[in-house]
Structure 1
Amino acid sequence: MAQGARRTFGQVVIVLVLAAATAAFLSVAAVRHGFFDLKVYYGALTWWTHDGGEIYDFLKPGTQYGFTYPPFAALVMLPMAYLPWAAAITVSVAATVVVSVVLLRWLVDPVARRVGWTRWFALAVALCLAAAFEPMRETVNFGQVNMLLLFLVAVDLLRLLPAGNRWAGVGIGLATAIKLTPGVFIVYLLVTRRFRAAFTAMGAAAGASLLAAALFPDASREFWTAALWNTDRVGELAFVSNQSLRGVVARLHPEHPSTLAWLVLVLLTLAVWAWRSRAAVAVGDEATGLALTGAMMCLVSPVTWVHHLVWLIPGLILLVDNGMAAPAGSRRRRVLLGAAIVGYAFLISRIVWAWEKDFTGVDGFLGSNTYVWISLALLLGLPIRRWATPEAAGPGRAPEPTGAAGQPGPAGSAVEAGGVAQLDESERVPPAVQRHPVDGLHAVG
C-alpha cells in the first residue's frame, strides 16, 4: 500500500510539473489568433440568420475569408448564431477538449496497459503533450473543427468497425458532410474492401447533405455550383502554413506552380498509402490504417494548414506504442522512440515560420516544408503492428514477425511493411506482447 501511495504521489508530482511546464511553454510559444476562424463561422451564420444575407456571400470584414464548409456544416453550427460570442467560444473550446480527451484515451490506453503505466497518468501526460502540440493549439486558438472531425472518424475506425457494428461508417459520413476532406476515409474503406461500412458512410454523407439541401436549398445550390470551386477563398497556396505537397510545389514557383508535378506526387503518395493501408487492415491494425490515411490526407489535400495536422496525432502515438512494445535497450526501441520525439519536437516548435517571408534556397526548401517531411515519414515508416489484435495471431498462436506488406517474414527480415529500419531477430515482438496479445485497440475499455 505504501509503495502504491508513493507511486501515485510521484505520478501526481510529474503531472503537475509537466502541466506547469506546458503552461509556461504556451505562454511564450502559442500565437493568439483571437478565434479567427470561429469569427468567420459566427459572422457568416449571423449574417445568414439575422441579416437576411446568403451565407456564402459573407466575407469577414477586411479579409478574403468566408464560410467554405458544406451546408450541412452550417446546419450543425446554426445554434451558434443564437449564442453570445463568449458562449460560442466556450462551446468551441469545450467541444475540442472533450473529444480530445476521449480520443487520446482510446489511443493511449493500450500503450499504458502494455507498459504497466497507470491509465490516468498516461492520459494526463498525453493531454499535456497534446496541449503544446502546434496543430492542437492552433486548432483551439483559431476555433477550428479539426478534432471534432478526427473524433468522428475514430469512432468508426477504432470502436465500431473492429466490433463489427452495423453503424460503422456513419461517423465518417457525417465528417465528410461537414467538411469534404474526411471523404478520403470512404476511399480507405473501399481500398481495404470494407464495402458495407463504405456504403454506410456514403449513405450518411448523402443523407446529411440532402437534409441540408431540403432545409437550405439556396445555400446548397450556391455551395455545390459556385462556392466549392472558388479556391481564392481558402488562401494563398504558397503560404508557409500550407504543409501539403501542393504547398511544397507552390513554394518552388509561387507565380506558376506546376500542377503536373503536384499530380505526380499525389499519385505516388496514393499508391504507397493504398499498399500500406491494405497491409495494416490485413493484420487487424485499424489504428495504423487511421494514422496512415490521416497522413495521406494531409499530403494530398491542396491546402493543409498547420492546424489540420492534428491528423498526425495517431501516428505519433503509435510510434511510441511500437517503441515501448520493443525490448528494453533494443535498437528498435531507440529508433522508434527517437523518431516520435524528433517528430513531436518539430511539431511544437513553429519551425516552418522561420521561412514565412523567404522560403527560397535549399534551407528554405527543407525548413519551410518540415511538417510535410514528417507526414511523409509517417506514411512511409510507421510500422504495421501485426500484434495489435489477438485475431491477427490466431487462437493459441503467438504473433509472428512480419516482413514487407505485413506478411509473415523470416526472423531478421526487413521491418514490418516497410517500417523505419532493419531490425535484429531479438527486436521483433517483445515477450510482453506475446503474453498479452489482447492489449490492442479491440480491447480498449
Structure 2
Amino acid sequence: MLLTFTLVDPWLNGAGILAGGFDLHIYRDGAWKIAHGHPLYTETTFRGLSYTYTPFSTLIFLPILAVPWAAVRDTGLVLNSAVLYGCVLLCWRVLGYRITPRLAGVSGLLALTCVFLEPVRSTLYYGQINLVLMALVLWTFTRTPESDGADRELRGTWIGVAAGIKLVPLFFVAQLLALRQWRTAAGTALTFVGTVVVAGLLLPDDSRQYWTSTFFEAGRIAPDTMPANQSLRGAIAHLTHHAVPAWLWLLVAAPVAVAGLLAGAEWNRRGEPLLAVTLAGMTACAVSPFTWNHHWVWFVPLLVDLVHRAQRAPGWWWVTAALYLAVGAWTYQWNEHWVVVGLFLFPPQWPVAPILLNCYVIVYLVILAAAIIGLRRRRG
C-alpha cells in the first residue's frame, strides 16, 4: 500500500487510485439506458465510449442506479477492496486451508500487498468487475464435485453467471471438461444460456443488436496494437505493428489453449487445484482476442499459491518476489499531470521496450512452461 500511494498521487485525476471509477460509471450508464428505454449499443455511454458488455450485464448493474452519481467511485472502491480480500480467502479454501483468525489476518495483509499488482490497482482505479468475476470462479472451485445437495447441483451456476456478464469466463467450461467434471460443465453452459434467454426476454432489441451485430465488431473495443492489449494477439500486433488476422491468432492461440487446459487438468489430478484454476484463468486471458491489462487479476491466486509453497520451501520466496517485480504497478512520470502505470506502458524508445510491452504474455508463457516442466519432472 505504501508503494501504491507514494509512486502516484492518489488524487491525480489521470491515474490516482482515489480519483477513478471510469468503467464503473459506464456500467451505471448502461443500466440507466435500459431503465429509461434508450438503445444500449447504438448510442454512446459515459464520455462518448461504446458499451461492450452483454445485455444481461446491464440487468446485473441495475442496483448501481441506487448509488448517487458522486458516490459511485468510492462505493466501487470499497466493494472491490472487500472482494479482493474475499478472493484471497477463497484461494486458501481452494488449497484446503481452514480459515482461522490468524489466517484471516494474514490474508488481509496479503490482500493489501496485492493492491500494488498493476492489474489489481487498475481494476480498483477503473472500478472494473474483474475481481468479482474471479471470485465467482474461485467460489466454484472451493466446492468439489462430490459435494452434497445444493452445493453439487449449483456448482457451475456462478461461472455461468460470470460468463453472462463478460464472455471470457466461458473458457472455464473447457477447463471443466478437461477435468472431466461433466455435470459442472453442463450446469455452467446451461446457466450461461439462461442469461442469454433472460436478457432476450427483457431486452429483446438490445439482445438482437448485440448477438447479430455488436458481438462481431472486433474493432469496437480498441485496436489490436494498443499497448494495454496483453494477449497473444496483442503481442503479435505489437511486434508486427499491424492488426492480426483471425487465422493467425487462432494458429497461435489454439495450441496454447490446449497446453494450458491439459497442464491445469494434470495439476488438478495431482492435488494442486489452485494452480489448476489459476492456469485456466491466465490461459483465458492469454488466448482471448483482446485482453485489457486489468483482466490479469489472476496473478492474485498465483501469488497466494506461491506464498503457500514458500511455507514449505523458502526458495519459492524468490519466485514470489520476481513475479511481484514483473507485474507491479511501477510508474513512469510523463509530466506533472500524467503518470503511466505498468511496465507495458514504459517509453517505447527503451531497448527493452518489446519485452516490457508484452510483459504479461511473457510472464504467462514462462509460468506455463514451468508448469509443464514440473509435470515432466514429477513423472520422472
**Structure 2 length normalisation: TM-score?**
0.85
Percent of residue pairs identical: 26
**Structure 2 residue aligned with 1:47, among 33, 37, 55?**
33
Is 1:153 the counterpart of 2:153? The answer is no
Between the two structures, name the one with larger relative contact order (CA 8 Å, sep ≥ 6): 2
Q: CA deviation at 1:383?
A: 8.1
d(CA) in 2 for partners of 1:93 and 1:153? 21
Q: Specify the alignment match of 2:327 in structure 1.
A: 347
* 1:168-183 map, 5 Å: 168-183=155-170
| Contact 2:25/2:72 (8 A) holds in 1 | no
For the structure 1 residues 267 and 83, does the alpha-carbon distance in structure 2 shift closer, same or farther, using more than 3 Å as the test? same
**Structure 2 residue aligned with 1:94, among 71, 78, 88?**
78
Q: Specify the alignment match of 1:338 in structure 2.
A: 318
Q: Specify the alignment match of 1:246 in structure 2.
A: 233
**Structure 2 residue aligned with 1:214, among 191, 197, 201?**
201
For the structure 1 residues 170 and 117, does the alpha-carbon distance in structure 2 shift closer, same or farther, using more than 3 Å as the test? closer
Is 1:404 the counterpart of 2:376? The answer is yes
Larger radius of gyration: 1
Q: CA deviation at 1:318?
A: 1.2
Is 1:76 the counterpart of 2:60? The answer is yes
For the structure 1 residues 149 and 130, does the alpha-carbon distance in structure 2 shift closer, same or farther, using more than 3 Å as the test? same
Is 1:103 the counterpart of 2:87? The answer is yes
Q: Specify the alignment match of 1:303 in structure 2.
A: 290
Q: Specify the alignment match of 2:356 in structure 1.
A: 367
Q: Specify the alignment match of 1:135 in structure 2.
A: 119
Counterpart amino acid of 1:159? R
| Contact 1:22/1:132 (8 A) holds in 2 | yes
Q: Specify the alignment match of 1:7 in structure 2.
A: none
The CA deviation string for residues 195-237 of structure 1, in whole angstroms up to 9 with x for no partner, is: 0000011111111221121111111111111111122221121
d(CA) in 1 for partners of 2:2 and 2:235? 36
d(CA) in 1 for partners of 2:343 and 2:204? 44
**Structure 2 residue aligned with 1:187, among 153, 156, 174?**
174
For the structure 1 residues 101 and 122, does the alpha-carbon distance in structure 2 shift closer, same or farther, using more than 3 Å as the test? same
| Contact 1:95/1:148 (8 A) holds in 2 | no
Q: Specify the alignment match of 1:57 in structure 2.
A: 42
Q: Specify the alignment match of 2:188 in structure 1.
A: 201
Q: CA deviation at 1:292?
A: 0.5
For the structure 1 residues 130 and 61, does the alpha-carbon distance in structure 2 shift closer, same or farther, using more than 3 Å as the test? closer
Q: Specify the alignment match of 2:6 in structure 1.
A: 24
| Contact 2:344/2:358 (8 A) holds in 1 | yes
d(CA) in 2 for partners of 1:105 and 1:162? 21
Counterpart amino acid of 2:171? V
| Contact 1:40/1:59 (8 A) holds in 2 | no
Q: Specify the alignment match of 1:66 in structure 2.
A: 50
| Contact 1:181/1:297 (8 A) holds in 2 | yes
| Contact 2:20/2:73 (8 A) holds in 1 | no
| Contact 1:109/1:122 (8 A) holds in 2 | no
| Contact 1:322/1:383 (8 A) holds in 2 | no
Counterpart amino acid of 2:343? I
d(CA) in 1 for partners of 2:245 and 2:20? 35
Structure 2 unpaired stretches of 5+: 331-341
What is the CA RMSD across the aligned residues, in angstroms? 2.9
d(CA) in 2 for partners of 1:69 and 1:302? 15
Q: Specify the alignment match of 1:378 in structure 2.
A: 367
Say which SS state the counterpart of residue 310 (structure 1) adopts.
coil
d(CA) in 2 for partners of 1:232 and 1:62? 18
Q: Specify the alignment match of 2:220 in structure 1.
A: 233
Q: Which moved more, 1:306-315 or 1:192-201?
A: 306-315
Counterpart amino acid of 2:227? V
| Contact 1:107/1:317 (8 A) holds in 2 | yes
Counterpart amino acid of 1:280? W
Say which SS state the counterpart of residue 144 (structure 1) adopts.
coil
Q: Which moved more, 1:203-212 or 1:144-153?
A: 203-212
Q: Specify the alignment match of 2:299 in structure 1.
A: 312
Counterpart amino acid of 1:75? L
Aligned length: 360
Say which SS state the counterpart of residue 53 (structure 1) adopts.
coil
**Structure 1 residue aligned with 2:271, among 284, 295, 303?**
284
Q: CA deviation at 1:241?
A: 0.8
